[in-house]
């Protein structure tokens, strides 16, 4: 087990380095500088600006400086929010993204699993067809459409919830619903397929033959196996969902990392873009490792050699 995690860790360091290098090259050779303004500045001031951002050094030297800083966890000061280090932005914004993402995920897993199980257990029934129809629609509808409808409904027609903002539990409900809806739909479909697969297997027939109730058969014998595909979907999904969502964060004015990430790339905020890319890489890697770890817990047939 320790060897497994150690090997994964080495792979992660290598992956992060490769990702860092590629993004560094892309970011540093993109056109424009962090201090581009409509008003042109005299060459002497421009030269000073370049010195401030080390742009006067040759590329390999800047790469060395940036890599050394990144290695010790110093992601530098944002170009566009000069009062904040990237570390501080991550520390302040990530909890918002993570809280929203986890809430959305809890909602998605609960609703998705329930719908999937019910659909599979009552295959072909009215409940199955309608649940799966809703799920298909949920996958097909983009976030912003769901957001638009839910704002109209819960803010302006039935004034229950605030339209946007951050700082109260009420403000989290709408964005969490909108963020979780497509995930719930995916989980429902995956859980249904997994469950149908398991329910047709021999050991389930044995369980039924023992005279166990349908509830016990589904919940205690079929479910642990049936959730396996859901778990492998959840790993990357968790990484994706807790690092924030561009659309939902923008519409609901959630101060999270998703929007910060996209914005940093658009406005040439290199330290921010670099830092977040590296952070997301690490997260994705850790989540995938945890999923593999979860397999070994859920399915005794999977061992440590993977």
Interface with other proteins in residues 87-146 (CB under 8 A): 88-89, 92-93, 95-96, 98-100, 102-103, 105-106, 109-110, 113
Asked if 85 touches other proteins (CB under 8 A), the answer is yes
Q: Which is nearer to other proteins, 16 or 171 (CB)?
A: 171
Q: Which is nearer to other proteins, 17 or 35 (CB)?
A: 35
Asked if 294 touches other proteins (CB under 8 A), the answer is yes
Least distance (Å) from other proteins to the CB of residue 14?
A: 28
The rounded distance, in Å, linking the Cα atoms of 205 and 223 is 14
Asked if 298 touches other proteins (CB under 8 A), the answer is yes
The answer to whether 194 touches 124, Cβ cutoff 8 Å, is no
Calculate the CA dihedral of residues 96, 102, 106, 107 and round it to 10 degrees: 40
Calculate the CA dihedral of residues 81, 86, 91, 95 and round it to 10 degrees: 70
Contacts of 95 (CB under 8 A, 6+ apart): none
Q: How many residues does the chain have?
A: 306
Rg (the chain; Cα; Å): 24
Q: Which is nearer to other proteins, 16 or 235 (CB)?
A: 235
- Site residues for other proteins, 64-83, by CB under 8 A, read 77, 80-83
- Site residues for other proteins, 236-275, by CB under 8 A, read 250-253, 255-256, 259-260, 263, 267-268
The contact pattern for other proteins, residues 11-40, with x = CB under 8 A and - = no contact, is -------------------xxxx-xxxxxx
Least distance (Å) from other proteins to the CB of residue 277?
A: 18
Least distance (Å) from other proteins to the CB of residue 134?
A: 21
The answer to whether 199 touches 120, Cβ cutoff 8 Å, is yes
Least distance (Å) from other proteins to the CB of residue 28?
A: 13
Asked if 172 touches other proteins (CB under 8 A), the answer is yes
Backbone phi and psi for residue 77, each to the nearest 5 degrees, phi listed first: -100, 135
Asked if 48 touches other proteins (CB under 8 A), the answer is yes
Tokens, residue 122: 């009552």
The residue from 179, 188, 231, 237 that contacts other proteins (CB under 8 A) is 231
Q: Which of 111, 117, 115 is nearest to 132 (CA)?
A: 115
Asked if 63 touches other proteins (CB under 8 A), the answer is no
Contacts of 73 (CB under 8 A, 6+ apart): 87
The rounded distance, in Å, linking the Cα atoms of 294 and 279 is 22
Instruction: Tell me how many residues contact other proteins (CB under 8 A).
Output: 83
Calculate the CA dihedral of residues 190, 196, 198, 204 and round it to 10 degrees: 150
| CA geometry: angle 168, 174, 180, nearest 5 deg | 120
The contact pattern for other proteins, residues 207-226, with x = CB under 8 A and - = no contact, is ------------xx--xx--
Q: Which is nearer to other proteins, 138 or 258 (CB)?
A: 258
85 three-state secondary structure? strand
The residue from 12, 26, 127, 164 that contacts other proteins (CB under 8 A) is 164
Tokens, residue 132: 């799966």
Q: Which is nearer to other proteins, 39 or 202 (CB)?
A: 39
Q: Which stretch binds other proteins (CB under 8 A): 12-20, 149-157, 188-196, 198-206?
A: 149-157
The answer to whether 179 touches 245, Cβ cutoff 8 Å, is yes
Q: Which is nearer to other proteins, 8 or 216 (CB)?
A: 216
Asked if 199 touches other proteins (CB under 8 A), the answer is no
């Amino acid at each position: 087990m320790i060897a497994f995690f150690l090997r994964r860790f080495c792979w992660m360091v290598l992956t992060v380095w490769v990702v860092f290098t590629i993004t560094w090259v892309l970011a540093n050779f993109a056109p424009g500088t962090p201090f581009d303004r409509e008003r042109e500045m005299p060459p002497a001031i421009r030269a000073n600006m370049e010195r401030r951002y080390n742009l006067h050094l040759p590329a390999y030297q800047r790469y060395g400086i940036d890599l050394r800083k990144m290695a010790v966890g110093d992601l530098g000061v944002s170009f566009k929010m000069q009062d904040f280090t990237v570390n501080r932005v991550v520390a302040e914004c990530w909890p918002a993204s993570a809280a929203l993402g986890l809430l959305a995920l809890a909602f998605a897993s609960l609703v998705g699993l329930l719908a999937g199980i019910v659909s599979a257990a009552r295959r072909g029934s009215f409940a199955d067809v309608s649940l799966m129809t809703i799920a298909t629609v949920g996958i097909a509808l983009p976030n912003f459409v769901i957001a638009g409808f839910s704002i109209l409904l819960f803010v302006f027609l039935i004034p229950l919830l605030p339209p946007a903002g951050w700082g109260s539990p009420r403000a989290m409900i709408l964005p969490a619903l909108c963020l979780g809806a497509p995930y719930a739909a995916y989980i429902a479909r995956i859980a249904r397929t997994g469950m149908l697969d398991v329910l047709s297997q021999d050991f389930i027939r044995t369980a039924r033959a023992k005279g166990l109730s349908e509830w016990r058969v589904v919940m205690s014998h079929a479910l642990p196996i049936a959730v396996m595909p859901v778990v492998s979907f959840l790993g990357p999904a968790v990484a994706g969902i807790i690092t924030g969502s561009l659309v939902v964060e923008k519409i609901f004015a959630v101060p999270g990392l998703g929007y910060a990430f996209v914005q940093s790339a658009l406005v040439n905020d290199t330290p921010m873009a670099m830092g977040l890319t590296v952070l997301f890489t690490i997260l994705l890697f850790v989540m995938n490792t945890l999923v593999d770890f979860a397999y070994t817990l859920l399915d005794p047939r999977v061992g440590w050699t993977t």
